[in-house]
Chains A and B, each alone.
Chain A
Amino acid sequence: MARILTSRRAALTPLLLLLPAIATMLFVVALPLVFSLWTSFTPYRLTRPDTLYDVIGLRNYIRLMSDAAFWVAFGRTVLFLAIALNVEFLLGLGIALLINRITWGQRGLRTIMMFPMMFSPILVGFQFKFIFNDNIGILNNALQSLGLTDQAIPWLVDARLAMFSIIFAEVWMSTSVFAILLLAGLFAMPRDPLEAAKVDGCNAWQVFRHIMLPFLMPFAFIAMTIRSLDVARAYDIVAVMTGGGPAGRTELLWTLIARVGYDNARMGQANAMAYVSTLLSVLFTWYFFRKLVAARRYMGGAQ
């Protein structure tokens, strides 16, 4: 009898330890999500509380399906993420390889590299709004002083340039995550396989492609997983830099949700959109986490 009790207790310990974490997430995330799922089936408006009990089924979602603005924003968000993450990965890899080769002053470089990570996204937004400002921004001032252009380039007004600017800001903020983790990967890389490959006659590219890159991938996946947890932080940047404008030309899913939900007070509709964006983030996280687990298993075999 006593034995059964102790073994029950042993099985219960981890659950007790995790209970606060689980409870917090259920209360702050799951419960609101259930609630917002409900509202996404209603025409709920903040200004008219009674609409909360007015079930209209899938109408919000159906409206969404035929809402061109939504789909454009959706597509733009996916494009934004695809470009930003790939650029961040490649840049991060480049930076990591570069810093790994620099011996003198490496610590300093590494520290500087972490600099953007501690910036609040909202601050990054303002910072680049300041820098890309067509009138007083340092970028236009510099270009004009150097005589590269004689007129103010409308960085945040022209649709393409605005998109470029927000991606630039996003990349500036988040490349460090990749660079730092990949650099940690490079530091942790065992020397033997590299040397063995060189002895086997691999050239520099082959060594990189077949030895280093596979070893670095788990680190890249950690970075991807971490990034995927808060890709939506880009909302802060965009909200400040362009607010989705001009005329909706940099509208991302997240700015659209804010506009529909808070500015237009159409909570039901906004929640339906929010569900789509949540799904996007969750799938993204899930995908990279699976990749990470798989890569980890494969690394475990190698060690």
Chain B
Amino acid sequence: MAGITLRNLVKAYGRVRVVHGIDLDIGNHEFVVLVGPSGCGKSTTLRMIAGLEEITSGEIRIGGRLVNDLPPRKRNIAMVFQNYALYPHMTVRDNLGFGLKIAGQPKEVVAARVQEAADILGLAQLLDRTPAELSGGQRQRVAMGRAIVRHPDAFLFDEPLSNLDAKLRGQMRAEIKKLHQKVNNTVVYVTHDQVEAMTLADRIVIMRDGHIEQTGTPMEVFNRPANIFVAGFIGSPPMNQLPCSAEAGGLRLADGTVLPVPARLAGKVRPGAALILGVRPDDISPEGSGLLATGEGAMVRLTVDIAEPLGMESLLYSRLAGQEVQSKVFGPRLVSPGEVLDCRIALDRAHLFDAATGRSLEAA
């Protein structure tokens, strides 16, 4: 068991930098999820931790030990790959025991540890099959089993669930969570699925273009996004972003509507500043059908373009200040296109970002 520390970690392919000096401290037993859009360098970072990719500069420590120049096998980590990377010519049993065998463990120890992992993951019946004879979810389990038999210092997962269908993904997500609670290892988990990130992580690391944009617990990054990118990336449907300018009376939107400044941020708004108001769809709802009680928040009038009923709630697409905004109606209420609704905006949960830098005013 050990924490992982990244210091000013850089990766360049030739002259192209893809990871720009990342700093990250991952605690012992912590489940850290790296999220970000495709190509942002998540896999590269993970593979550098694993030792599969050489690092260009910086430092990686696992359990305090500098591992920069150690090959993967000396780092005592385990990795689960996106397409499982099970050895096709070996049975499940041999797949699970391979690492121990290579390490020269005696046969009985290998057998016992394989059995233990198989029991944890419910693979006991499948030990004599080859990977070709397994379903996607079973392969996934074997891949995880291969990781846990070795009692590694840390688990690395690279989008382990992306090859599964939606239902199985939900199931396996829960299993990974359970597994972590059981073996309580340090985990670094890469995904671009923010639901996975939110549900699994102790801490989320949001990356973009080789930089870390924000690090925090799921609730922190959801409730206090450090910048517009994080605000747009975390949360589904994404946060509405309305350009506005600060003036004495409040925030003036593009069409002249003026909304009050959220009380929480009152001291931080400079008059005249160009800002972006961020409001989650859950925080805009018609009077009486949202999270807000009458009298709370600010009122706006919206004309509905499209309504998507989802059962117990509906997602509305309407126009506000010349821009499409998404909002939600809670309760089984049918809304038809063209309907004009008086909506409440929960301003105390809204965010303000500097239009130029994209940074949240809260941080300043």
Residues of A within 8 A of B (CB): 2-3, 6-7, 10
Contact = CB atoms under 8 A, between A and B. Distances in A.
8 contacts: A2-B69, A3-B54, A3-B68, A3-B69, A6-B54, A6-B69, A7-B54, A10-B54
Nearest to B57: A3
Interface string B57-74: 000000000001100000
Contacts of A6: 54, 69
A265 B19 CA distance: 66
Nearest to A3: B69
Interface of B: 54, 68-69
A169 to B, nearest CB: 43
3 shortest interchain CB distances as A-B pairs:
A2-B69, A6-B69, A3-B69
A203 B333 CA distance: 52
Nearest to A1: B69
A2 B54 CA distance: 12
Given A3-B69, A6-B69, A7-B54, 5 more contacts: A2-B69, A3-B54, A3-B68, A6-B54, A10-B54
A6 B68 CA distance: 11
A7 B54 CA distance: 8
B333 to A, nearest CB: 43
Contacts of A2: 69
B360 to A, nearest CB: 38
A2 B67 CA distance: 12
A3 B54 CA distance: 9
A35 B69 CA distance: 47
Nearest to B54: A7
Contacts of A3: 54, 68-69
A15 B124 CA distance: 45
A2 B68 CA distance: 10
A12 to B, nearest CB: 14
A107 B68 CA distance: 54
A298 to B, nearest CB: 24
Nearest to B71: A6
A216 to B, nearest CB: 29
A3 B58 CA distance: 11
Contacts of A7: 54
A3 B69 CA distance: 6
A3 B71 CA distance: 12
A209 B125 CA distance: 52
Nearest to A7: B54
A177 B69 CA distance: 48
A206 to B, nearest CB: 37
A220 to B, nearest CB: 31
Contacts of B54: 3, 6-7, 10
Nearest to A6: B69
Contacts of A10: 54
A10 B53 CA distance: 11
A214 B68 CA distance: 48
A6 B69 CA distance: 8
A3 B70 CA distance: 10
Nearest to A10: B54
A234 B247 CA distance: 88
Nearest to B69: A2
Contacts of B68: 3
B193 to A, nearest CB: 25
A9 to B, nearest CB: 10
A252 to B, nearest CB: 48
B247 to A, nearest CB: 52
A7 B57 CA distance: 12
B208 to A, nearest CB: 27
A10 B69 CA distance: 12
Contacts of B69: 2-3, 6
A5 to B, nearest CB: 9
A208 B90 CA distance: 42
A6 B54 CA distance: 9
